[in-house]
Amino acid sequence: MKKVLITFISIWILASLINQYTGWSVQDLLPPAPVKVRTLTPQEEASFPPPVKIEEKFYIFTSRHPDVWSKPLYADKKTAILINWNGSNDELLSDFRNLLRQPDNQQAYQRKIYTLRSGMTTWKYDSAKQLLIETCGRQAACIVNPRTKEIAVLPNKDTSYLAAFLKKYQTW
């Protein structure tokens, strides 16, 4: 009985660590669930803010070592990011996962989900963590393009906007 309990606890801890550092969960082993989205009007699609250049200081003060916060800046493809700060993006989390598991998005993006459980967090100034928390922390989602050194931000926390946002920046 003791061995079974220890094995179960070990698996649970391992799964929690994998989820915390990669954003992957057991749900990702299942096929993506369909996500209901409506087609946005041209005015709604035009309302997406354009991508902005990431200041060079963030690259200077962020090392290339495999840190969970620095990976989006140095990845080999674009990273779609959702920061779930104290549950602020709970309503988008499942749809975000399912949209990014669709074949077109899966080829274009790698996915990163950051879960911050406290209202307070610390970072080194001018680091990737500061950039991502300050730029994406209170938004719906962000996409970092390491080739162009730009970041696109989606402020609208609506699944239809999220789907259009991911589609728009697939070839960016």
Q: What percent of the chain has pLDDT over 90?
A: 39
Q: 32 pLDDT band (50/70/90 cuts)?
A: confident
Query: How confident is the model at residue 24, as a pLDDT?
Result: 66
Residue 159 pLDDT exceeds 80: yes
Report the distance separating Cα 54 and Cα 146, nearest Å: 9
pTM of the predicted protein model: 0.81
Where does residue 72 rank: exposed (0-12), middle (13-18), buried (19+ CB within 10 A)? buried
1, two tokens? 């009985």
For the chain, give the percent of residues with pLDDT over 70: 90
**pLDDT top residue among 87 and 148:** 148
Buried b (16+ CB within 10 A) or exposed e, 115-151: eeeeeeeeeeeebbbbbbbebbbebbbbbbbbeeebb
Q: Mean pLDDT over residues 53-81, rounded? A: 89
Q: What is the pLDDT of residues 89-126, one digit of tens each?
A: 888 988 998 999 888 898 999 888 887 766 666 677 78
pLDDT of 127-152, one tens digit each? 888 899 889 988 999 999 999 999 99
